[in-house]
Amino acid sequence: MNASARLTTLTRVGFATRGILYLVIAFLIVRTGRAEDTSGALQFLAGSGGRLLLSIMAAGLLAYGIWRLCDAAFDIERHGTDRKGIFERLGAGISGLVHLVLAWQAFRLIQGVSSVGNGTEQGTQAALDLPGGTAIVMLGAAVLFAVGVVQLIKAAKGSFLKHLEPAMAQHAWARWSGRAGYAARGLVFIISSWFLLQAGLQAEASEAGGMAEALSWLESPWDFVVAIGLFGFGVFSLIEARYRILHDVPVDGLTRRVAGAA
């Protein structure tokens, strides 16, 4: 198995890891009323799954992050160069960075170091400390809102099915788990964008909030409804782990190109 095939295999592990994290998030809301984001779900698993599970998940998240970044840089998924394609590649890049951070958190948990503090709040404060920080945070809120809208559009159109093997894409349960998942994520992103906008307007990082804060903000029964949607996204991610059509990243070729450029 060459480097490209190994990365593709580990990327599938990354899809499965993402699915497990969303299933945990949904489980915690429904069973305990506890609102967590993917980092919180990872810490929950660290307390019950042991080092082996964390090691597998960390490797999968790392590969998934690298694959997403390669997609953003080299258009592995063939999005195209029009406005829509560029936006999709930008989204892939952001997703890649997020999952690399999750992989780093998983490695830290393996070492016995727990994450401390609110990552969204810390990131917002770092942005606010930069020149023009308020504008940067408000721009981030606009981007997050746009991402949320795109998720809702995907839920409505079912465009996510084009990435699955045709036989699986025809199953209604795959289609509706994806629709529910993308709709729930879209709503969470839009709520989070509102929090981030308030943080920018007030120049106060404590106003920012991610998935955990968005889920806490929702009142019953909407928190339960969104939890079911996130459960659907977890299921759909597990489907993608097996049936998503993945284009290999030409790792060997890229390595030779980088070496040649150096």
Mean pLDDT by 10 residues, the chain (262 residues): 78 93 94 88 80 87 91 83 83 90 89 68 86 91 92 94 94 96 96 93 87 90 94 96 84 56 50
CA 175 to mean position of chain CA atoms:
19
Q: 60 and 39 in contact (C-beta within 8 Å)?
A: no
Instruction: Report the number of distinct structural domains present in the chain.
Output: 1
Residue type, 18: R
Q: Answer whether residue 135 is part of any domain.
A: yes
pLDDT at 260: 56
From the number of C-beta atoms within 10 Å of its C-beta (0-12, 13-18, 19+), residue 129 rates as exposed
Q: Answer whether residue 247 is part of any domain.
A: yes
Neighbours of 75 (CB within 10 A): 17
Distance CA 240, CA 172 (A): 15
Q: Answer whether residue 262 is part of any domain.
A: no
Q: Which two tokens stand for residue 233?
A: 């996204």
Q: Answer whether residue 133 is part of any domain.
A: yes
Q: Answer whether residue 45 is part of any domain.
A: yes
Domain assignment of residue 44, given as a range:
3-257
Q: Answer whether residue 85 is part of any domain.
A: yes
pLDDT at 155: 96
| Sign of the four-CA dihedral 34, 41, 168, 81 | positive
- R_g over Cα of the chain: 18
Q: Which two tokens stand for residue 219?
A: 């009142």
Q: 251 and 70 in contact (C-beta within 8 Å)?
A: no
What is the pTM assigned to this prediction? 0.89
pLDDT at 110: 84
Q: Answer whether residue 55 is part of any domain.
A: yes
Distance CA 194, CA 128 (A): 16
Q: Answer whether residue 107 is part of any domain.
A: yes
